[in-house]
Amino acid sequence: MDMSVFDLFKIGIGPSSSHTVGPMVAARRFLVECGPLDDATGIEVGLYGSLALTGIGHATDKAIILGLMGETPQGVNPGQVDDMLAEVELDGAIRLLGVKEVPFSAKTGLAWNRSSSLPEHPNGMRFKLTKLDGSIIERIFYSVGGGFIHAAGESHARQGAGAGTAPIPYPFDTMDQLLAHGKASGLTIPQMLRTNECAHMSEEDLDAGIDNIWQVMRDCIAHGLVTDGQLPGGLNVKRRAANLWRQALAAKNGDNRANDLPHDALHQVSLYAMAVNEENAAGGRVVTAPTNGAAGIIPAVMRYYAEDCRPSDPVKGVREFMLTAAAIGMLCKKNASISGAEIGCQGEVGVACAMAAAGLVAALGGSNEQIENAAEIGIEHHLGMTCDPIGGLVQIPCIERNGMGAIKAITAASLALKGDGTHFVSLDDVIETMRQTGADMQDKYKETSLGGLAIHVVTVNHAAC
């Protein structure tokens, strides 16, 4: 398994890992691989398939321009993005990788090929760099979900600071293989994942990286819970998490608690998830987990674990949570997909739910078999979920869908922990079912905004697309 926990959890910006993070990475990589840019005279980018159909709502145009400027998802300052893009349009020029200025305008430099797709994936990009002697460097890239990209004809390469070339002690391509390693070694899934990661980095670096990811997630929740206003994009969707959070705190701290209900704690979990995805929809700093469209589920369940489950060692528990969640995400990406444009939202919210459920079971001391059971439940009850964002924006139904996914993850974990790990459908079987279901799903339900809610709710944005 040629993936790392830091490939599944990447710091970036909203609103989309496949339509924002991936294209930004691809644009920058293209120019880096072009070599010296001293004799560059122009740049053009063609967008295809889902990237073209929902790219405006998903800020693909902004991401491409930022990538061409040399910015990275983890390094760009979200608060400066609008000014940087405005300067490009005002000047009618872009400074490639920050070193070579060439004429450029988003209106003429980006081509939206809405009626055609490139062969290897629905999220395709064609880059063309023109040089002084008239020659052209051209290359195709694909954004395959979760911020992962690969060039045409290239294997689905990872992005980020993941595993190296050294062999890992516990290789696995299926959950059956991982469970077999556990039985033979006597180790838990998070212990095996830790051992694999430490084949390429020190334990100190691993823990520091995980702790940093968790801090960014916590900051994202905290900011989302206090930020009011309206989300960008034209739907005029108001942020709700902050107001609902104030109501929840008032009810919790008030003298009259007669109206308290047993499910109020779970209501808070849904608000954590919604807060993250409102931040994502606003183009804020988020962690891809495993995608931006599903970025709220895992942070919400981890905060629930750390604050409501009364762990004796929350730091250790969070680390085991994330390692276990990453193992599930790796299996889903390798054997199916985490791309909404490829298999619908079952591959985003469904996978995130499974990752969160498995992580919670691990953090609470569940067995390997209970971890597998929780992940299986999480995916099974998202099978067939479409990706049909209204107006091509990662807002409706995406924000609420994260809140629901977090609650379902806790339910899945609870069911698994109450059992002994035996169950009828295996995780490997349900992942394969998800893959086949995605293959059978019509394209209009796979992040194109051509079906489902996206066409049954009339919007100005959609009509303009």
Confidence of residue 458 (pLDDT cuts 50, 70, 90): low
- Is the pLDDT at 463 greater than 60, yes or no? no
What integer pLDDT is reported at residue 257 of this predicted model? Answer: 59
Instruction: Measure the CA–CA gap between 69 and 95, rounded to whole angstroms.
Output: 6
pLDDT in tens, 154-174: 865 444 444 456 799 999 999
pLDDT in tens, 83-107: 999 999 999 999 999 999 999 999 9
19-143 and 175-458 share one CATH topology?
A: no
Per domain, the residue ranges of the chain are: 19-143, 175-458
Mean pLDDT of the chain: 93
- Structure tokens, 326: 């990453």
What integer pLDDT is reported at residue 165 of this predicted model? Answer: 62
- Structure tokens, 297: 């589920």
- Structure tokens, 234: 């034209």
pLDDT in tens, 239-258: 999 999 999 998 877 655 55
Contact indicator for 104, 116 with CB cutoff of 8 Å: no
Model pTM score: 0.93
pLDDT in tens, 74-88: 999 999 999 999 999
- Structure tokens, 231: 């989300």
- Structure tokens, 369: 């078999």
What integer pLDDT is reported at residue 154 of this predicted model? Answer: 87
Instruction: Measure the CA–CA gap between 8 and 160, rounded to whole angstroms.
Output: 9
Contact indicator for 293, 14 with CB cutoff of 8 Å: no
pLDDT in tens, 366-418: 999 999 999 999 999 999 999 999 999 999 999 999 999 999 999 999 999 99
Contact indicator for 298, 359 with CB cutoff of 8 Å: yes
Q: What is the DSSP letter of 387?
A: B
What integer pLDDT is reported at residue 253 of this predicted model? Answer: 78
- In this structure, which topology does domain 19-143 adopt according to CATH? 60s Ribosomal Protein L30; Chain: A; (3.30.1330)
Q: Give percent of the chain above pLDDT 70.
A: 94
CB atoms closer than 10 angstroms to residue 218: 16
Beta strands in 15-145 (DSSP E): 40-49, 93-96, 100-103, 110-113, 123-131, 136-143
Q: Give percent of the chain above pLDDT 90.
A: 90
Tell me if residue 128 falls in helix, strand or coil: strand
Q: What is the DSSP letter of 21?
A: I
What integer pLDDT is reported at residue 307 of this predicted model? Answer: 95
- Is the pLDDT at 365 greater than 80, yes or no? yes
- Supply the DSSP string of 185-239, one letter for each residue: H---HHHHHHHHHTTTS-HHHHHHHHHHHHHHHHHHHHHHTT--SB-SSSS-PBP
Instruction: Measure the CA–CA gap between 294 and 327, rounded to whole angstroms.
Output: 17
Instruction: Measure the CA–CA gap between 370 and 414, rounded to whole angstroms.
Output: 10
pLDDT in tens, 115-140: 999 999 999 999 999 999 999 999 99
Confidence of residue 459 (pLDDT cuts 50, 70, 90): low
Confidence of residue 465 (pLDDT cuts 50, 70, 90): very low
Whether the ω angle into residue 232 lies within 30 degrees of 0, i.e. cis, is: no
- Structure tokens, 130: 């023109």
Task: Give the 3-state secondary structure percentages of the chain, helix then strand then coil, rounded to 5.
Answer: 55, 10, 35
How many residues belong to the chain? Answer: 465
- Structure tokens, 193: 């994942």
- Which class is domain 175-458? mainly alpha
What average pLDDT score do residues 17-39 get?
Answer: 97
What integer pLDDT is reported at residue 400 of this predicted model? Answer: 97
Task: Report the number of secondary-structure helices (H) and strands (E) in the chain.
Answer: 20, 9
**Angle at the Cα of 412 (from 407 to 413), degrees rounded to 5?**
100
What integer pLDDT is reported at residue 91 of this predicted model? Answer: 95
What average pLDDT score do residues 176-185 get?
Answer: 98
